[in-house]
Structure 1
Amino acid sequence: MSQPEHFDVLILGSGQGGKLLAWHLARSGRRVAVVERRWVGGACPAVACLPSKNELWSAKVAHLAGEAGRFGTITGPVSVDMAKVRRRKRDMVDREIAFHLNAYRESGAELIMGSGRFVAAKTLEVALNDGGTRLLAGDQVFVNVGSHAAIPDVPGVAAARPMTHIEVLELDTLPAHLIVLGGGYVGIEMAQAYRRFGSQVTVIEPGPQLLGREDPDVAIEMQRILEGEGIRVLLGAQPTEVHGWSGQEVGVTLRSAAGEQRVDGSDLLVAVGRIPNTAGIGLGQAGVELDGRGFIRVNDRLQTTAAGVWALGECAGSPQFTHVSVDDFRIIRDNLAGGARSTGDRLIPYVAFTDPPLARVGLSEGEAKRQGIAARVARLPMAAVLRTAATDETQGFLKVLVGDDDRILGFTMIGAEAGEVMAAVQTAMLAGLPFPKLRDAVITHLTFAEGLGPLFGAIPAR
């Protein structure tokens, strides 16, 4: 083996946590190299979070334009130009790429575009995208390689060339009939968006409900919202075979309690989960162990089984949200400076950006029951939130769980501005406030957060 180039810090993958760590350590005077296979800045600004929310907003505008007459604005026929939808999204991605390249230049971290694999402890061989190879070694090594969309093991799926979230965001024409395999968060976001753009949409979910991690009342309400917009939802439907090609003609044969049926459409989107990008990158050569699902084994300080090697983000089994990867960065940053931070005490919120959105932080009812935690539950329909009398955004509800000590255990909301309202509850949970503090708070009228008063006022007495 030739002599490797030496760096103080070597980072494989430029996802959210990895790039923040690179910029921070480089600004601190360390010699830092980041190896990125494809997307400057990682998947979030290029093909995931930001691009999807960009197109979801375009879909919301299309929906509001179609509903404008209900609010007194008279318009003509509404149509969607998918080429312009894609152009708007691409323009945003171009701005993000420019931002990231400038951040690398200003920090002094070196961005190396190529595919890296470990060939020895703390040593990477990089096949450069523009040809040639480089051999790199680091005193400290961080792995931030993310994950990719899983393709289900169903006969004919791979041959049908289905879309994942990446390809569906590159469409410049409207699918006549989009079939979505998977009723999770990504699947229902894209299903609603393309229905609003004008496609016929069918969602196929093998499980008994949409959003399998949520309480049944949440799943039922979300299904009601989607079906109210004309989306066909098939539950308990196991795909057994796929025929044809996505983008032309594609069919999915299903088996359910009602028997066998076939759904025919024009395009197929697969949204059934994620697989870590840990295969084929030589982690064994580096002494880095994986768990049974292919995620990198880490402790609560994100240290791997190899000395001087850390992992962060989705490949380390962290919850698959950009904001969690940011916190992974903060944990590593602080611990490198002598801190003692841990992943074990995090309160992680999330939002599904449907319209209305679904937001949750803390325990669901089902999780509390499975863990044997006693909880008092209150529920408030969105129609009881006074703001909705002005906006007509009455779909959904708020739900809260409170423990015997009056502290908030969990909060779920389907409704307008759910993520923003949830942040207020999350803050109270982080502060350990008893629920009467929110119940009796003076919250601005007319806001959606004002609904927290009557919600917490409905908590049953001990």
Structure 2
Amino acid sequence: MAAAAPQSITPEEYDLVIIGSGEGSKYLAWTLAKQGQRVAMIERKWIGGSCPNIACLPSKNIIHSAKVASYFARAAEFGIESQGHTIDMATVTGRKRKMVKELVDIHVRNYETTGVELILGQGHFIGPGLLEVYMADGSKRQVRGEKVVIGTGTRASVDKIPGLAVANPLTHIEALELETLPVHLIVLGGGYIGLEFAQAMRRLGSRVSILERNANLLHREDPDVSAGIETLFHDEGIDLVLNATVEEASGVSGDSVIITYKQNGQNKTIEGTHILVATGRTPNTEGMGLELAGVELTASGHIKVNEKLETTAPGVWANGEVAGQPQFTHIAFDDFRILRDNFAGGNRVTTGRQVPYALFTDPEVAHIGLSETEARKKNIPYRLFKIPMAADLRTRTLSETRGFMKALVGEDDSILGFTVFGVDGGEIMSAVQIAMLGRLPYTALREAILTHPTLMEGLIVLFSSVPTSMIEK
């Protein structure tokens, strides 16, 4: 008997098909569906994307638990007698899981109420505008979109170092699921993810060592920022191994591991119980059949887009980290606004937009606009206003005086850039960013009547100080 011919699948037609339900994608789906368009969202695993599930919000939840633990360690400073404390890591993680579930439930309701069809499965192109989706039950669906948007994000990179993959290291995903504290956590990478986890785990009770290939932590920041973070970490008992190139890993993370590294021409080793890899991100583009849709990649493996987020394929766009945009949720949300407006006939672009950011160590590092390093490199004239955080009187009431804030001001009194290393730095930075958006001169903040005592009031002190530096043309 002849074998039955495979049954063909009739593609389902949509106005918009989106692959990956991250920040930019989900808001675009909800918005256009509410406008009456037929929208399908294909999501492999994380409903709502990485931010509510495995990244920004869960990590800040754990970081806040670590902040509370730090207050217990400082209890005597506040006049509180304490006989010590213990950390129940399972409860710490449980609090995080509860928050994540609540957030995912909100996302599911948004899909239901807006009418977006949420398709849980692995999607890949089989032709221009045509995708096939492998469902969890083994079945397949085909969907065709008049417009297609790719928002599949990035994942943690694991360098091809001998023994590292076999050691089964933690990424941020597994680190957020720990129910027992590592005895000695070795963090590979001195960037944002590595530093936030390093401080949190140290405060929760782990011994922590950071191996960083560059000469400084946060090596792209101004030297005073890098120095401030390094001093903070030294003071908190975190081991810093700088100028270290990892050569080999052995053992299994979660039990016993040995990292061999080269520092200043010498081979050295460090032993620990866990490895956390935080050395970069890899775009999620493999196995998507992009070549069948005419979507090209950049040399770094990101989807190639122009300033309107258009790919090389007609009718296909990409947003967020997979498109090589700055790796921040708030930038992905702005990508949504660009696509939303341009789909409605607008002409919005990614170029020239502000990119604020914050590192959620304690205290925080936050920045907007031009840094001193960039200004010098570009030979842009500026006046530098800088004060210690202790000059902001609110910090004294909080016993949180570590750090500084500084601003670069142009010859026309415009604020060119602002950096803060201090308590609630992200909130302070946002106030300055709003002033920059409104093109206010620095004198507007200097002469403002701000509530006393608040952290924002420190901006009056900052801009009333005497400039200490100027780069001439």
TM over 0.5: yes
- Tell me, what secondary structure is at the counterpart of 1:448? coil
The question of 1:44 aligning with 2:44 is answered no
Is contact 2:386–2:467 with CA below 8 Å preserved after alignment?
A: no
1:380 paired residue number: 387
For 2:467, give the aligned amino acid. P
For 2:280, give the aligned amino acid. G
Is contact 1:304–1:310 with CA below 8 Å preserved after alignment?
A: yes
Structure 1 length normalisation: TM-score? 0.98
For 1:362, give the aligned amino acid. G
1:264 paired residue number: 271
Is contact 1:161–1:245 with CA below 8 Å preserved after alignment?
A: yes
Deviations 1:227-248, CA, capped at 9 Å, x for gaps:
1110011110111111111000
2:3 paired residue number: none
Instruction: Give me the whole-angstrom Cα distance separating, in 1, the residues matched to 2:52 and 2:390.
Output: 35
Instruction: Give me the whole-angstrom Cα distance separating, in 1, the residues matched to 2:137 and 2:173.
Output: 23
Instruction: Give me the whole-angstrom Cα distance separating, in 2, the residues matched to 1:282 and 1:375.
Output: 49
Instruction: Give me the whole-angstrom Cα distance separating, in 1, the residues matched to 2:408 and 2:10.
Output: 59
For 2:372, give the aligned amino acid. E
Deviations 1:357-399, CA, capped at 9 Å, x for gaps:
1101111111112222122212111111111221110111101
Instruction: Give me the whole-angstrom Cα distance separating, in 1, the residues matched to 2:287 and 2:58.
Output: 28
For 2:392, give the aligned amino acid. V
Instruction: Give me the whole-angstrom Cα distance separating, in 1, the residues matched to 2:375 and 2:295.
Output: 35
Instruction: Give me the whole-angstrom Cα distance separating, in 2, the residues matched to 1:417 and 1:460.
Output: 24
2:198 paired residue number: 191
The question of 1:449 aligning with 2:440 is answered no
Is contact 1:205–1:238 with CA below 8 Å preserved after alignment?
A: yes
Is contact 2:9–2:141 with CA below 8 Å preserved after alignment?
A: no
The question of 1:340 aligning with 2:385 is answered no
Which of 330, 333, 351 is 1:326 aligned to? 333
Q: How big is the shift at 1:153?
A: 2.1
Instruction: Give me the whole-angstrom Cα distance separating, in 1, the residues matched to 2:453 and 2:102.
Output: 36
Q: How big is the shift at 1:304?
A: 1.0
The question of 1:104 aligning with 2:111 is answered yes
Instruction: Give me the whole-angstrom Cα distance separating, in 2, the residues matched to 1:388 and 1:16.
Output: 34
Is contact 1:48–1:166 with CA below 8 Å preserved after alignment?
A: yes
- Tell me, what secondary structure is at the counterpart of 2:102? helix
Alignment of 1:139-158 (within 5 A): 139-158=146-165
Q: How big is the shift at 1:2?
A: 3.8
The question of 1:396 aligning with 2:396 is answered no
The question of 1:72 aligning with 2:79 is answered yes
Instruction: Give me the whole-angstrom Cα distance separating, in 2, the residues matched to 1:406 and 1:187.
Output: 37
Structure 2 length normalisation: TM-score? 0.96
Number of positions where the alignment pairs a residue of Structure 1 with one of Structure 2: 462
- Tell me, what secondary structure is at the counterpart of 1:324? helix
Is contact 1:376–1:459 with CA below 8 Å preserved after alignment?
A: no
Q: How big is the shift at 1:458?
A: 2.6
- Tell me, what secondary structure is at the counterpart of 1:400? strand
1:6 paired residue number: 13
Structure 1, 331-340 or 175-184: larger mean CA deviation: 331-340
Off by >3 Å, runs of 4+ in structure 1: none
For 1:148, give the aligned amino acid. R
- Tell me, what secondary structure is at the counterpart of 1:19? helix
For 1:77, give the aligned amino acid. G
Alignment of 1:220-369 (within 5 A): 220-257=227-264, 259-369=266-376
For 1:186, give the aligned amino acid. I
1:15 paired residue number: 22
Instruction: Give me the whole-angstrom Cα distance separating, in 1, the residues matched to 2:467 and 2:364.
Output: 27
CA RMSD of aligned residues (A): 1.2
Which of 50, 61, 68 is 1:54 aligned to? 61
Gaps in structure 1 of 5+ consecutive residues: none
For 1:239, give the aligned amino acid. V
- Tell me, what secondary structure is at the counterpart of 2:456? helix
Q: How big is the shift at 1:279?
A: 1.9
Which of 211, 217, 241 is 1:204 aligned to? 211
Deviations 1:239-290, CA, capped at 9 Å, x for gaps:
1111111000001111111622111000000000111101221111111111
2:5 paired residue number: none
Deviations 1:403-460, CA, capped at 9 Å, x for gaps:
1221111111010111111011001111111111111211111111111112112353
Deviations 1:32-53, CA, capped at 9 Å, x for gaps:
1000011111111011111101
Q: Percent identity?
A: 51
For 2:162, give the aligned amino acid. P
Deviations 1:99-150, CA, capped at 9 Å, x for gaps:
1111000000000011111110011111112321111101011111000001
For 1:271, give the aligned amino acid. A
Alignment of 1:419-458 (within 5 A): 419-458=426-465
1:89 paired residue number: 96
Which of 35, 39, 61 is 2:42 aligned to? 35
1:123 paired residue number: 130
For 2:67, give the aligned amino acid. K
Gaps in structure 2 of 5+ consecutive residues: 1-7
Structure 1, 244-253 or 443-452: larger mean CA deviation: 443-452
Q: How big is the shift at 1:3?
A: 3.0
For 2:448, give the aligned amino acid. A
- Tell me, what secondary structure is at the counterpart of 2:13? strand
Instruction: Give me the whole-angstrom Cα distance separating, in 1, the residues matched to 2:217 and 2:160.
Output: 20
For 2:73, give the aligned amino acid. G
Deviations 1:6-28, CA, capped at 9 Å, x for gaps:
11110000001101111111111
